[in-house]
Chain A
Amino acid sequence: MSKLTFARAINAGLRKSLENDPKVVLMGEDIGALGGVFRVTDGLQKDFGKHRVVDTPLAESAIIGTAVGLAYRGYRPVCEIQFDGFIYPAFDQIVSQVAKMHYRTQGRVKMPITIRVPFGGGIGSPEHHSESPEAYFTHTSGLRVISVSNPQDAYTMIQQAIASDDPVLYFEPKRRYHDKGEVDETADLSTALSMEKARVVTPGSDVTLVTYGPLVKTANDAAMAAADEGVSVEVIDLRSLAPIDFPLVEASVRKTGRLVITHEAAQSGGLGAEIAASITERCFNYLESAPVRITGFDIPYPYSKLEMHHLPDLDRILDGVDRALGRGNSLSGLEG
C-alpha cells in the first residue's frame, strides 16, 4: 500500500497499462513534456517515448478520429481530453464512430478506446473548464461511462477501462486530483470489483443517497452530519454511469424506502432523472416518498464567484435528505 494523490494514482495505473501492453498508446494535448495540465501523465513520455505518449495537434475530433484508426489497427488508445468543455468538437467522432463501430461492423472491429475527461467544477475556473457532460454520453449506446471517486478506484478502473474491448469514457473529478488515499498497486485486476458495479461506501438504513465522482466525498460528509442527528444515510458510489448497477441501488432502496440522488450536472434529462425513473419502475411499492434530486441548476456552468451556489454541497444534500424523510426542509409546504 502507498499513499497517492488521485492524479498520481491515475498516473500509476496508466504506467502499469503501458508496461503490460505494448498496444497501449496515450494521445492528447500537452500530455508529453508537460505531463498534462494536471500532471496526470507526468513522466510517462520520458519513460515510454514519444511514439507511445503522443503530443497531438490541438484538434479534439482528430484525437478521437485517429484513435479510431489506431484501434482499427489493433491499438488501445487512451485519449486525454484536456477539459470537460473541450470534448464537444470530438462529439461526432465519439457518438457516430467510436460508439457505433462495433455494432456497424457486426462485431468485427473492436474499439478499445479509453477517453479520459477531467470533469466537474469547484476549482474557480473560467468558462468551459468546469462542466459535467456525462449524460450526453450515457445516452449514447455503445459507450461505457465510468466516474471514479477515490485514488484506489482511479488506479484500478483506469486499467480496467484500458483493458476493456469496449470504448470507455473515464470521468475524473478534477477538484479531487490532490486528495490522497491508500492505493494497493499490487491489487490483482482479475479479482477487482468489475467496473460495471456500484459500491456502498457508507452503509445506512433510513435514506439511500446515490452519487458518483466528485460528490462521493461530499455525500459521505453529509452522511456523517446526518448521523449526528440520528439519521442513517446509505451512500452509494455508482462508479459506472452506463450501465448503472441498478440491482445494487434497488436493493438499498428496498431497505431504506427513500432515495436521494445528487450530481453536479444539470437536473433536466440528467442521470438523476434516469435513476429516479428506473428505481420507481423497479420498486415503486417500496418507496416511502418521492425520489429527490439535488443537482446543478439548468443553467450554463456559472462564473466562479457563483459556483458554490450551483454545486450541491453538504447542506443542500442534507436538505434533500430531509425532503425524502418528510422532515422540515427548504421546500416544506410546496410539495404536491
Chain B
Amino acid sequence: MRSTVLTDEPGQDAYKSSNPGISAASPRRTGGDLVQLISPEGERISHPEFDLWVSDVTDEQLCSLYEDMTAIRRIDTEATALQRQGELALWPPLLGQEASQIGSGRALRDDDFVFPSYRDNGVAYCRGVEPTDLVRAWRGNASSGWDPYRHNIATQQIIIGSQSLHATGYAMGIQHDGADSVAVAYFGDGATSEGDVNEAMVFAASFQAPVVFICQNNHWAISEPVRIQSHIQIADRASGFGIPSMRVDGNDVLAVLAVTRIALDRARKGGGPTFIEAVTYRMGPHTTADDPTRYRDANELEDWAAKDPIARLKALLRTKGLLTEEVEARTQAKADEVARNLRAGVINMPDPAPLDLFKNVYSTPNSWIERQKDHYSRYLESFSGSTQEGAL
C-alpha cells in the first residue's frame, strides 16, 4: 500500500524482546523535558532511552523522511496557490508541522487506523492518499476525498476533537477482535478543551483501548493562543486520566518517530493508550481565509522559523555528509512531481452532477429523499429545450 519502512516492526522486535522494560518503563510523563534528538541547529542529541527506538533508522531512511517533509510542504504551497487562483475554496496549511506529521505517520503500520483532523494532510500522505484526493473536499467537489478503508485513514474531521472518540471506539473494536493494530487520533491544542477529547481519554483509560492520542500543539487555535486552552502543559493533562504521556519536540522528526513507536508498541502489547504532545508551530494562517497578522507577533514567527523542521533535518543530513547533489535532486524531483500531479488533478477534476446531491444520504432507499430527488429532477428537466442546457 505504501512505504512503511519505519514502522516499529519487525526491525525493532529483537531489540524489544531483549529490553522488555523499555516500553513499560517509559515514563508516565517525561517531566518538563521535551524529547529532542535533533537540535534546532541540526545536531544529533543523544538520549539513552529514546535513541534505542530510532537506532535502526538508516541514512537512506533519514533522506526519505527529508523527501517526505519536503513533498508535503510543496503540496501545501501548491494548494495555497491553487486557492489564491480560485481553484480551491479553502485550504488549511500545515506549514511548520511537517516533522510532527511525517515522524508519526511513518511510524504506523498498514493495519493501524488513523482518525485525522482537517490539517493532517501530511499524515494522509504517509497513508498513501493521492495529492488530488487531499483537496477534493476543499474544492467543493465532494464531501471527502478518499476511501478510508483503502488507506486505513478516516476522512478529515472538521468538528474539533470529535474524531478522538471515533479512534477510541475503533480501538475498542480492535480489542474485541483480538488484533494488535492501533487506532491513532490526531488533533490540536484547541481540541484538548473539547469535551469529546476528555471523554475519549476517560473511555480509552477505562477500557485500556489500543489508541494513541497525538496532539500537535501548534500554539494557535485560529487566533487563540494555547495559554487560553490550558494553564499547564497539555501533556500533563493525560496523567489525570491515568494515561501515560510524552512531550516531544514536534519539529524534530526523529524524536516524533521515537515517541510514536513507543506509544504504538505499548498499545500493541496491551498497555493501553498513550498521549503525545508534539510541540510545534503553525507557521501559516489557520486557513487561507485567515489573517494571523491581526493577532500574533511577527517576532514569534521568526523565532519558530529558526526551529524549522525541514531546515533542521537538512542541517543534520549535511553534517552527516548525506546531503548529496543526488539526494537534493531526487527530493526536488519528488516535490515537483507531487505538485504537478496536484495541479493537474485539480484543474481536470470534473464537476459533480446536480443529482449527486441526493446520493448516499442513506444506504438504502428513503421515500422522502426519493420524492425530493424526483421533484428536483423534473424541475431541472423543465429547462431542457430552453436556453439552458439540460442539467441531467
Contacts and interface: CB of A to CB of B under 8 A. Distances in A.
A62 B165 contact: yes
Contacts of B367: 196, 243, 245-246
Interface stretch (B5-13, B166-174, B310-318, B334-342): B166-174
A245 B147 CA distance: 34
B364 interface: yes
B3 interface: no
Interface string A63-98: 011111111111101000000000001001100110
A108 B196 contact: no
Given A75-B173, A108-B147, A165 B183 contact: no
Contacts of B203: 56-57, 59, 62, 66
Contact of B172 (A70, A96, A107, A109): A70
B178 to A, nearest CB: 10
Grouping DSSP codes into helix (H, G, I), strand (E, B) and loop, the B interface class, with mixed when no group exceeds half, is helix
B154 interface: yes
A106 interface: yes
A102 B360 contact: yes
Interface in B344-392: 359-364, 366-369
Contact of A70 (B144, B155, B169): B169
A72 B148 contact: yes
A265 interface: no
A105 B155 contact: yes
Nearest to B162: A97
Contacts of A242: 368
A96 B160 CA distance: 11
Given A25-B176, A107-B363, A65 B148 contact: no
Contacts of A72: 113, 148, 154, 166, 169-170, 173
A272 interface: no
B361 A141 contact: yes
Given A103-B143, A104-B155, A165 B148 contact: no
Given A61-B165, A65-B166, A105 B148 contact: yes
Given A73-B170, A105-B148, A97 B202 contact: no
Contacts of B113: 72-73
Contact of B169 (A51, A57, A69): A69
B196 A65 contact: yes
Given A61-B196, A75-B173, A105-B148, A165 B363 contact: yes
B169 A67 contact: yes
B56 interface: no
Q: Which of A66, A70, A244: most chain B Cβ within 10 A? A: A66
A72 B367 CA distance: 26
Given A25-B176, A97-B159, A66 B359 contact: no
Q: Which of B196, B361, B363: most chain A Cβ within 10 A? A: B363
Contacts of A105: 143-144, 147-148, 155, 360
Nearest to B209: A66
Given A61-B196, A104-B144, A110 B167 contact: no
Nearest to B360: A107
B363 A65 contact: no
Contacts of B360: 102-103, 105-107
B362 A142 contact: yes
Interface in A96-128: 96-97, 102-110
Interface in B122-145: 142-144
Nearest to B366: A243
A144 interface: yes
Given A65-B196, A66-B165, A73-B173, A166 B363 contact: yes
B224 interface: no
Contact of B159 (A89, A96, A103, A244): A96
Contacts of A106: 142-144, 359-360
A164 interface: yes
A69 B172 contact: yes
A243 B364 CA distance: 12
B202 A59 contact: yes
A61 B165 CA distance: 9
A245 B366 CA distance: 10
A242 B196 CA distance: 28
Contacts of A244: 368
Contacts of B166: 65-66, 68-69, 72, 97
Contacts of B155: 104-105
B61 interface: no
B165 A69 contact: yes
A165 B154 CA distance: 19
Given A106-B144, A196-B367, A61 B199 contact: yes
Given A61-B195, A166-B364, A243-B366, A96 B162 contact: yes
Contacts of B165: 61-62, 64-66, 68-69, 93
15 contacts: A59-B202, A62-B199, A62-B202, A70-B169, A70-B170, A72-B154, A89-B195, A92-B196, A96-B159, A104-B155, A106-B359, A107-B363, A108-B147, A142-B361, A244-B368
Given A102-B363, A110-B363, 12 more contacts: A57-B206, A65-B168, A69-B167, A72-B166, A75-B173, A77-B169, A89-B195, A106-B360, A141-B369, A164-B364, A243-B367, A243-B368
